[in-house]
Amino acid sequence: MKKQAFNPYLPSWEYIPDGEPYVFGDRVYVYGSHDFFNGFAFCLGDYVCWSAPVEDLGNWRYEGIIYPRNADPLNPEGKMCLFAPDVTVGPDGRYYLYYVLNEVSIVSVAVSDTPAGRYRFYGYVHYPDGTLLGRREGDEPQFDPGVLTEGDRTYLYTGFCGRGDRSRTGAMATVLGPDMLTVQEGPVFVAPGCEYSQGTGFEGHEFFEAPSIRKVGETYYFIYSSIVMHELCYAVSREPTKGFVYGGVLVSNCDLNISSYKPANRPMAYGANNHGSMVQIGEDWYIFYHRHTNGTWYSRQGCAEKLTILPDGSIPQAEITSCGLNNGPLLGKGEYPAYIACHLFTDTPSVYVGGDRFPRIMQDGRDGDRDPAYVGNIQDSATMGYKYFDCHGVGRIRLTVRGYGQGVFEVRTAWNGAVVGEIPVNYASYWGEYSAPVSIPDGVQAIYLTYRGDGNKGLKSFALL
């Protein structure tokens, strides 16, 4: 039986950001870096892989460690971190994993006979004379490789451009030969960083990091994280190494720019850096991205939303939801985990993650413990939003709550809508159930829960009854 699909799409205790999704055979595979719960830095883990049947996107399978940190000859003790990778199928039919270690600005490559590995170290991207890409005079540092193979040519996209750093020009494209390592055409710039964007059409959404590439028909879509960090943007061209024109925003992990249900400039979650890409699954296109948990930048989880590619090739920005891969709203009956909240905010809006008074997704125990996540640090005015549910005959809601605080949870079907129910909650050091009648209209609805009271609460789940 198919499972409903939530955001995040992996288990609540797994932290795989920077997702690069691909369909190989009858499964979709996601490759990314590997954060830890309560981690002190980005990308502390080995590369792992998860996959799901293309017909059952709520049923993800752990494929195990596909490439450990110490597999690179430059990192035998595993002290360096594995930053965001990408995978492509070479002309020999094998799978090639491209990555950069956090302290070395060159591109490493590993190879496997199967999508889920294990991958074995293969070599470093280099010029014909053996000089490593990134170390020739005039090269800019390599970072965040994205790859696309067509015939005997592989297009490698890299780069990082921070604000105020004029030594970094923009995103680079390099052409590799059929051995997947040797540079055939040196780096050219395909999208500008913010220090070189004047007059380019990229102003305000300049390239920052996270280059990725997809081809739809005859059009190349260059996907990247912009200088504001929380959004994934795209540019289009009919050629893979030149002519890219800014297209728009694909997704923002705080839903900035979306104006369909709230003011465009109002953030609805706590954003920060972003990284991901597009994939076609069946007839549908999706954008994979990540969200931030635990009130930090360093415990990121993968999410996905459906995209619409219009006849002219443009793509409207996707709204962040709790049901991204579900191909429609969730059932408006039954119990749901609180951690699938797509919206978290208080009466004090904030675009970026961090802050002692903000609610956050968290878990008990340590990284790797399979304890279910919950929403914690719920103080007065904290709001959790869930979208969307197909509701019919919902007349009661039940919450599972704990924490030292007393007040009420207000229920709404819009972030600024009328209160349709109130659930009083008491002081408790254990998870307890509280319920109350609600008046939720039939049809597709959002559910917003706002705490009004003192102290600090945690929300484990809610049930529509």
Parallel, antiparallel, or unpaired for β 207-216 and 343-345?
Answer: unpaired
Neighbours of 290 (CB within 10 A): 26
Active site residue 18: yes
C-alpha–C-alpha distance, residues 195 and 6, integer Å: 39
C-alpha–C-alpha distance, residues 232 and 225, integer Å: 5
Mapping DSSP to helix (H, G, I), strand (E, B) and coil, where does residue 400 land? strand
Provide the terminal-to-terminal Cα distance of the chain, rounded to the nearest Å.
Answer: 23
Q: If we measure between CA atoms, which residue out of 14, 110, 85 comes closest to residue 363?
A: 14
C-alpha–C-alpha distance, residues 288 and 306, integer Å: 9
Parallel, antiparallel, or unpaired for β 374-378 and 383-391?
Answer: unpaired
Residue 64 one-letter amino acid: G
Q: If we measure between CA atoms, which residue out of 276, 270, 308 comes closest to residue 290?
A: 276
The active-site residue out of 195, 209, 255, 319 is: 209
Beta bridge mates, 258? none
Active site residue 152: no
Parallel, antiparallel, or unpaired for β 407-412 and 421-425?
Answer: antiparallel
The active-site residue out of 14, 18, 206, 255 is: 18
C-alpha–C-alpha distance, residues 305 and 251, integer Å: 8
Mapping DSSP to helix (H, G, I), strand (E, B) and coil, where does residue 313 land? coil
Task: Output the CA angle 37-40-43, nearest 5 degrees.
Answer: 70
Catalytic site residues?
18, 209
